[in-house]
Amino acid sequence: MIKLHDKYFKPFLSQTEIQSAVEDLAKKISDDHKEETPIFIGVLNGSFMFVADFLKAYEHPCEVSFVKLSSYQGLTSTGIVETLLDPPENIEGRTVIILEDIIDTGRTLKELVHLFSNTNVKEFKIATLFYKSEIYNGEYSIDYVGIEIPNKFIVGYGLDYNELGRNLKEVYQLNQKHMINLVLFGKPGAGKGTQAEFLKEKYNLKHISTGDLFRYNMKNDTELGQLAKSYIDKGDLVPDEVTIKMLQDDVEKNPEASGFIFDGFPRTTAQAQALDEFLVSKGMKIDATIALEANDEILIQRLLERGKVSGRTDDQDEDKIRNRFDEYNQKTAPLKDFYEAQNKFHSVNGIGEIDEITMRLSKVIEEL
Ligand code: AMP
């Protein structure tokens, strides 16, 4: 397994497998074109390694040139294709064979065909080393295919993940291990923090509590802590921009986590939307939002008891606690609908013994 930026990749195609596919392509193409001198056009950057090995295996007269387009950013195609290096001049009447490292959706291919559409070449053919038939839109026929591959993100042998991995001799596939990402939902005092401590051990998850992060920053008197203090002391929510940024930074710090428990986040619709977008950009998603249900009077008693031990000022004053409940009812409760619309909302009775409640939560998690 190798790590590039924040992602892990596992071996997929060996040097031998790649080399034999390249040689087969060279053989097929030379059988069809050995009577003439074709111009091979590599598509940069990804095809440089394929073009070099291909030309070494092509044993007849030929010319080589390159074009450069851009379409990929991160793990998914942006769909924006720009021409960065134009086709060579004087190719009129010649046989042009495109050498692509990979064809997936066909968007880059469309741009390539367009680039050569007014060049009056004698023949225009397309060869690709890797081909994702499952997602190819089928707009143009592909004349030569090296290896058909499943629709998984790959790197190596010229292909990159945000510019890393091009120099690998083998091809690697994104290792999409199964993650569990949970949102623990519920009013202050519902037991989110307590339960998260048990669940994180049981399921090997990273627990992120935005309340704890704020308290850590307040204790260390950081700029973020000073800003958060004025809100937390009144029982108000800290502004979304600040909280979202802090949460994202903490997720980024844990690229190896096998999943997260988000505790106390999201607390507003804007936070929930930002979380969804952020997770998608990381190839992740929320699997379930589990609400711990308990009535206000029980929660107020719990919080006042906790305040005596923890020293949390926001747990010691009934008015502040009621204000936190108001914030919850106004801003957080609507998230129930948000997650219900995604079929991800689960409700669990939060009253009872701690281990009994852990069992109720585990039942939901194990049925996911
Ligand atoms: P907690 O420990 O989760 O009850 O959070 C304590 C306090 O931190 C809350 O009353 C808010 O002032 C602040 N806070 C924690 N999480 C968030 C959040 N997701 N959005 C806004 N403020 C938050």
- Residues 183-221 have pLDDT tens digits of 999 999 999 999 999 999 999 899 999 999 999 999 999
Distance 257 CA to ligand 1 centre (A): 23
**Bridge partners (DSSP) listed for residue 95:** 123
Q: Is the CB of 128 under 6 A from ligand 1?
A: no
| Catalytic positions, written as ranges | 192, 267, 306, 312, 324
180-185, strands of its sheet edge to edge: 206-209, 259-263, 180-185, 288-293, 345-349
Mutation test residue for ligand 1: of 192, 237, 242, the one with most atoms within 8 Å of CB: 237
Ligand 1: nearest atom to the Cα of 264:
3
Q: Which atom of ligand 1 is nearest to the CA of 212?
A: 2
Ligand 1 pocket check for 243: Cβ under 6 Å: yes
Report the mean per-residue pLDDT for the chain: 93
What pLDDT is recorded for position 116? 93
Q: Which residues contact 227 (CB under 8 A, 6 or more apart)?
A: 238, 242
CB 265 near ligand 1, within 6 Å = yes
Q: What pLDDT, on the 0 to 100 scale, is given for residue 102?
A: 96
Among 98, 40, 89, 91, CA closest to 69? 98
Asked if residue 266 has a cis previous peptide bond (ω within 30° of 0), the answer is yes
Atom of ligand 1 nearest to the CA of 324: 10
Whether ligand 1 lies within 6 angstroms of the CB of 210 is answered as yes
Asked whether 161 and 178 are in contact (CB, 8 A), the reply is no
- Ligand 1: which atom is nearest the Cα of residue 214? 8
Looking at beta carbons, which pairs linking 329-337 to residues 24 or more positions away fall under 8 Å?
Answer: 331/237, 331/267, 331/268, 331/269, 332/185, 332/266, 332/267, 332/268, 334/269, 335/185, 335/266, 335/267, 335/268, 335/269, 335/272, 335/289, 336/185, 336/291
Segments of the chain scoring below 70 in pLDDT = 71-81, 176-177
Most ligand 1 atoms within 8 A of CB, residue of 213, 261, 267 to mutate = 267
pLDDT of residue 91: 93
Find the 295 Cα to ligand 1 centroid distance in Å: 19
Q: Is there an atom of ligand 1 within 6 Å of 332 CB?
A: no
Q: Give the integer Cα–Cα distance in Å for 147 and 13.
A: 10
| Interval between CA 303 and ligand 1 midpoint (Å) | 14
For residues 165 and 3, give the distance between their C-alpha atoms in angstroms, rounded to a whole number.
9
Confidence (pLDDT) at 206: 96
**Which residues make beta-bridge pairs with 259?**
180
Look at residue 87 in the predicted model and tell me its pLDDT.
87
Residue 217 Cβ inside 6 Å of ligand 1? The answer reads no
Cα–Cα distance for residue pair 25/107, rounded to 1 Å: 23
Q: Note whether 150 and 132 are within 8 A (CB).
A: yes
Ligand 1 centroid distance, CA of 232 (Å):
7
Query: Given the structure tokens 């005092």, which residue do they identify?
Result: 189
Query: Separation of 264 CA from ligand 1 center, angstroms?
Result: 6
Binding site membership of 214 for ligand 1 (Cβ less than 6 Å): yes
Q: Give pLDDT, residue 259.
A: 94
Residue from 183, 185, 210, 326 whose mutation best tests the ligand 1 pocket (most atoms within 8 A of CB): 210
